[in-house]
Structure 1
């Protein structure tokens, strides 16, 4: 007990905050077409105003037709992708064929929901080809809700990139515009333009972007430089 101005006061335990999550930034964009899917993510891994590395890939090739893009807490990203890859290997050995993209999307949704009380702090976008050879994109919330679409943006600059995709890919609120399938060349140019703009506004997105183009012939990789300040 300590006496303060004639009153007794009892010492109070100090509160120490603990946060198990860390946001390491990064952005990911995916676009699906009639016979292709493109997914791209920047290579900057940072925390606050510190850049850990400028050459970290956030794209994980799960098969010749499926690629996963992850941004957010890097330790959660590594844990999630290692478990996912292990399950895919088990499926491959048991069934003698790789798991199809929609099946991978459902399995990932189940894995995220299993951790709903202590979720992975990761923004996931899955891109690939379905059983008919058509491009598909699956996006998730932290506890596993899955939605299939033709384009999606996520990560730290997701709010900046998604409106561009809505306008240029989805033709939202545009009149007298033929809503034709977007060719791969145009989708690739839109993705590059979007990342260039996002790097000007978001300090957690930059350095360069890695691009995976998924077709029936496999996955091709491209790299595009962004600003590095």
Structure 2
């Protein structure tokens, strides 16, 4: 009785060829830790918020991982800060970016004897991200503060430093759920003035600054809606409000399931 030829078995030609090939080890340095952030600029304030859930796939790493940080203040209390940064995506990259920007803003104050403007900080953050364009920070950043005219200023970024000043912006896992809501409620897209015409001739409602209490409620509504639809968002809502008088911080519970 003849032997059975097994090309894939031990000693077979294909197994010998595979054993002789060099083994490849792959390393992927990024992961997505979930969560979402958003920012809204008002007439004389800016609100930036984020949830506190950190995930890895279907696992919850922690239920309190802040994504919104004070920039340029005291290390322990944050006192003296006048700029807020929100980062979402890979948590380690977000913290590294926050630490670098915080150090730059503090050094600027020590060297020049004055605070860095939010406009200058926005440009500096763009440069930081661009310097890492070949190995980018895997994070979505939103920067906010009060500009030289006392108006709310909000800047959003892509991973390699392109940025723009906006009225509102959402980032992270639930951005696709939150951003259409903000477009309608803050930018007044698809809103028209009743009685201004018929059919397509209705006059479009022009955007205008919203009062602070209304914006705070919009932020809470946005996250309460997002947690109903997205498993990577939840546990707590961290909100910071930047005004001429400083930064106020609030925390609200969200769904934990």
TM-score (structure 2 length as normaliser): 0.84
Greater radius of gyration (CA): 2
- Which residue in the other structure is 1:46 paired with? 55
Paired residue secondary structure (1:219) = strand
Distance 1:3 1:28 in 2: 56
SS in structure 1 opposite 2:153? strand
Q: 1:15 Cα shift?
A: 3.6
Q: Measure the CA separation in 2 of the matches of 1:178 and 1:166.
A: 12
Q: 1:94 to 1:43 in 2, by over 3 A?
A: same
1:186, 1:167 → 2: CA distance? 14
Q: CA deviation at 1:146?
A: 0.6
Residue of structure 2 equivalent to 1:183: 211
Which residue of the partner structure matches residue 34 of structure 1? 43
**Structure 2 unpaired stretches of 5+:** 1-10, 73-80, 194-204
Change (3 A) 1:10 1:151: closer
Which stretch shows the higher mean deviation, 214-223 or 173-182?
Answer: 173-182
**Normalising by structure 1, what TM-score?**
0.94
CA RMSD of aligned residues (A): 1.8
Size of the aligned set, in residue pairs, is 228
Structure 1 match to 2:181? 164
Q: Give the drift of 1:14.
A: 3.8
Structure 1 residue runs of 5 or longer lacking an equivalent are none
Shift of 1:175: 1.6
Report how far residue 110 of structure 1 moved. 0.3
Change (3 A) 1:214 1:18: same
Instruction: Tell me the equivalent position of 1:204.
Output: 232
